[in-house]
Structure 1
Amino acid sequence: MKKYVLVIDEGTTGTRSLIFDHDFNIVGQSYQEFTQYTPEENMVEHDAEEIYEKSLENCHKAMAEAEISAEDIDSIGITNQRATCVLWDKNTGKTLDKAIVWQDSRTAKECEELKNSEWGEKARQKTGWEVAPVYSSMMVKWLLENKPEIKAEVEKGDILLGTMDTWLIWKLTGGKKHAVSYSNASVMGSLNLETGEWYQEFLDHLGVPVSIYPEIINDSGDFGETDPEIFGTAVPIRGSIADQHAALFAQECRTAGTAKITNGTGSFVDINIGNQLVIPGAGLNTVIAWKLGDTTTYAVEGYAGTTGSAIQWLKEGMGIISDAAETEAMAESVDDSNGVYFVPALTGLNAPFWDSFARGTIIGITRGTKREHIVRATLEAIAFRIKDICDVVENKANIEMKKVRIDGGVSKNNFLAQRIADILNAQVGRPGSIEATSLGAAQMAGLYTGFWEEEDLDKAVEIERTFMPDLSPEQRKKEYFIWKRAVDRAAKWLDFNLDDI
């Protein structure tokens, strides 16, 4: 009987389910967006219950489209938005509050205080990350300090913590498995990379009990079986990997020195650095790319949190476009941005600046500015933010990126792909399927069960188009110089206290 791998790809703005056959073809899929909650300017939240329900609906729809049943599924792989944390009651299965999303910056001031204390460098050396609001541990600290009812529930000992993969696994297994993959654990600001265990000394300092944290399991590993009532029969969950790490794996960046750029809600640059733990600093993060068997692979990463979501803002916030697909033609309809630069720091600036107080800035507007110029400036900003990160990679990690792979929904945009090649002065390869995160999760599950062998993975990705740089060194230098001036003006915008006036 022909078998398939089912993937749940839970992103920041929507959740998707896909069915892969043995030849890595997608034979069924379903996607739904979910609600974005922004109770305050610096807060971004999700409803974990809504995400689970829509993920489940997608699974059934994808299976129906593929015309298969649960008996035809070899295994399930999960990939997910990282660091977003949720707390729930292990007895009732109900969440205590909305999940705090990785884009949330409510803990910015507390993070700055920690960074300026002895814990700033100490935590960075152990976790591989600059202390920042993306730390799940800081999110939990905020909940315990600002929600007395949550603190009381946690003290009773019945509360569990997890990222979205943990939550989905717990729900799918009927509460039998409370686990997180190594890749996801490494971006929570809670893991000691040197020991591979939860960083209890730091958590004790924050007042966050380590007892609420999940078991850590290999990314290709045993995450239990689904409750038989969900699909009609129990289906093994054998892979769980954070989204950027999944894309790195699927894009065949499985050896040291290979790199990929994922352009989705944000833009993530990930470089495989092999099996030796290195903490380069300079605004870069070190993560566990994945753990297979007894081997841990590490990666250096820099990310810009608001790039693709800036396009979404053009549609939903500004009403400049009605569909993201319009942006390619609009950008190409003008010769340049007419001097307009857009720094998309809508929730602050991530790597390499780590400035939670920066805010979005559109500068260079004149009476000649049209919406096409703003759209073009938005796409160019994605390329500039990627260069911000890659420059640090080249200067501090001594890795020159002449060839990169791109994936993610925004990478469909040919104008953007070409601008990335131009601004990086690098050859950019785009696979025929940009669903690299889903493919990576499928591969993790299939490798564990033997559905695929490692040699099978080499034929999983075909490059659909290659973009070569076509910008003079002088023009590249000029454009990037002006970009950095724009960033300087967006920096530290909210770093003041009106009481001091």
Structure 2
Amino acid sequence: MGKYVLVIDEGTSGTRALIFNEKLQIVAQSYEEFTQYTPSEEKVEHDALEIYEKSVAMCKKAIGEAMISPEEIACIGITNQRATCLVWDKETGEPLYHAIVWQDTRTAALCQELNAGEWGEKARKTTGWTLAPVYSSMMLNWYLNNVPIIKKKIEAGEALFGTIDTWLIWKLTGGKKHAVSYSNASVMGSLDLKTGEWYDEFLTYLGIDRKIFPEIITDSGDFGVVQKDILGAEIQITGVIADQHAALFAQGCRTAGTGKITNGTGSFLDINVGTECVISNQGLNTVIAWKIGDAMTYALEGYESVTGSAVQWLRDGLEVITESSETEALARSVEDTNGVYFVPALAGLSAPYHDPYARGTIFGITRGTKKAHLVRATLEGIAFRLKDIMDVVAKEAGIKMKAIRIDGGASKNNLLAQMMADMMDVQVDRPFSVEATSLGAAEMAGLFIGLWKEEDFVEALTIEASFTPEIAKEKRSKAYAGWQEAIKRSMDWNY
């Protein structure tokens, strides 16, 4: 049997392929961004074929850089951006429209209408999510009502539907496997969390035939075999897990009451709540963290869809920086934000506000405001949004967390990590490797074939740095009061 695990880490901005050895060390990795399509302000789309082709290219590149043969790869793990979905022709394998991304808000008006009626509470209590544009089922409803070829193909039994993990599995296996993992299924707004079955009543109401939905498989399980002509060998896909869930698993948060924050395109705070399905009443989402064998583990989650991508906007939209890595030095060049607050609601506000009509807003600008103040306010805005979510977690769980682990690319920023510790009043622990998402997918895949046991993962991530609160309670309270006023003014802006 091979001794390496190949991971496809499908993000919102790009695709990464990594090779892990038997010691869970990364021996090679490759990355490439893919195109972000924004045909209008409320729409965010991806070209699914571009994602697939770049995924295969990155896998081949990583295998080459690791100087191994495809036959040496024991299995493949996949982790992916969640909820992003598409419909494709099951005969030709061609997408019938761009994939609609989880950040997209085109269904906001319909979601608001449904939330005002019986489906608001009914859907939330069944799916664990406040009914919102992030629901894949709402995206599918939009496809049916706005893309005639999709409606026609579905009615003729010639189309399939799925999230990005489903799409990759289907393409890699040559159309032999149409599947989704439990973790990804739980984020589609289409699953009854307690039964683990597709939510037929809601799907029927939306005019959706569940026949186009994929089979649900345990996160550590049999997802088929990659065709030999794609990577040079037939390789099993044995682990598929949603990105945030993968990070929670890899960060060692495998028992109730432990949690992590992943800082990527968005920021996600997840708390393991064990084997009981707890539906939040404080604006958090309930997800299936993972299912291994017969054991289902749940988590409470709060997220903000635009945090790291707010920094990306500073680079690509506002063009005040040329590299994201510049933000730390630039923000440190000033003592504070000079009274500037930046609410990064570039795609609305997520938990606990759930306002798709909020818009990015910058308050407190004076003639003395420089770009360094704006950059610092952007980092502070990320930390404030995480405090918003952490406070809800404290109310929901009835506990004050003392420490939390962080991962994701933006977590490399020491100033941001310190701001998080200061604003949330917790110890923030960062591991040596912030690629926890990829590691979680590798662990899931290796578990299924017996390459590792769960106890082997204890030392997989060691802490590289810890950040403890450095500001007084009064200063934190004053800063946060200003933030809450800024949030209030940004809400319902585009209503």
The normalised TM-score by structure 2 is 0.99
The unaligned stretches of length 5 or more in structure 2 are none
Aligned to 1:97: 97
**Misfit runs of 4+, over 6 Å:** none
Aligned residues of 1:280 and 1:397 also touching (Cα < 8 A):
no
Partner of 2:14: 14
Match of 1:185 in 2: 185
Using the TM superposition, give the Cα deviation of residue 70 of structure 1 relative to its aligned residue in structure 2, in angstroms: 1.2
- 1:147-197: per-residue Cα shift (whole Å, max 9, x none)? 122211111111100100000000000000000000000000000011100
Letter in 2 for 1:133: P
Provide, for residues 94-148 of structure 1, a one-character-per-residue CA deviation record: whole Å limited to 9, x for no partner.
0000000000000000000111110100000000000000000000001111112
> 3-state DSSP class of the match of 1:325?
helix
CA–CA distance in structure 2, aligned partners of residues 198 and 76 of structure 1: 26
**1:229-258 per-position Cα deviation (integer Å, ceiling 9, x unaligned):** 112221000000000000000000000000
Q: Contact between 1:47 and 1:99, CA under 8 Å: does it hold in 2?
A: yes
Determine the C-alpha separation between the residues in 1 that align with 2:264 and 2:239: 22
Structure 1: state its 5+ residue gaps: 496-501
Superposition deviation, residue 469 in structure 1: 0.6
- For residues 333 and 491 of structure 2, the distance between their equivalents in structure 1, rounded to whole angstroms, comes to 31
Q: Counterparts of 1:86-485 in structure 2 under 5 Å? A: 86-485=86-485
Q: Does 1:69 align with 2:69?
A: yes
Aligned counterpart, 1:29: 29
SS state at 2:143 partner: helix
Q: Deviations over 1:263-303 (max 9, x none)?
A: 00000000000001110221100000000000000000000
Percent sequence identity over aligned pairs: 65
1:226–1:376 CA distance, 2 compared to 1 (3 A): same
Contact 2:150 2:159 in 1 (8 A): no
1:417-469 deviation line (CA, Å, top 9, x unaligned): 00000001100000000000000000000000011111111010010000011
The amino acid that maps onto 1:159 is: A
Query: For residue 498 of structure 1, what is the aligned residue in structure 2?
Result: none
Check the 8 A contact 2:407/2:436 in 1, yes or no. Answer: yes
Q: Tell me which amino acid in the other structure corresponds to 2:428.
A: V
Q: Indicate the RMSD between aligned Cα atoms, in angstroms.
A: 0.7
* Equivalent residue runs for 1:51-62 within 5 Å: 51-62=51-62
Secondary structure at 1:211 match in 2: helix
- CA deviation digits over 1:314-344, x for unaligned, max 9? 0000011000000000111100000000000
* Secondary structure at 2:324 match in 1: coil
Distance 1:397 1:454 in 2: 26
CA distance in 2: counterparts of 1:107 and 1:400, whole angstroms: 36
8 Å CA contact 2:341–2:363 kept in 1: the answer is yes
Secondary structure at the residue paired with 2:458? helix
What is the distance in 1 between the residues matched to 2:57 and 2:356? 36
Distance in 2 between residues matched to 1:471 and 1:264, nearest whole Å: 26
1:37 & 1:244 partners in 2: Cα distance?
Answer: 23
Whichever residue aligns with residue 84 of structure 1, its letter is: T
Deviation track 1:42-72 (CA, whole Å, cap 9, x = no partner) reads 0000000000000000000000010111110
Residue-by-residue CA offset, 1:192-228 (whole Å, 9 max, x unaligned): 0111000000000011111110000000000000011
User: Per-residue deviation at 1:2?
Assistant: 6.1
Report the counterpart of residue 83 of structure 1 in structure 2.
Answer: 83
8 Å CA contact retained: 1:328, 1:414? yes
Cα distance in 2 for partners of 1:213, 1:399 equals 38
Query: Aligned partners of 2:394, 2:48: CA distance in 1, in Å?
Result: 38
| Structure 2 CA distance for aligned equivalents of residues 228 and 34 of structure 1 | 25
Count residues in correspondence: 495
Query: C-alpha distance in 2, partners of 1:231/1:115?
Result: 46
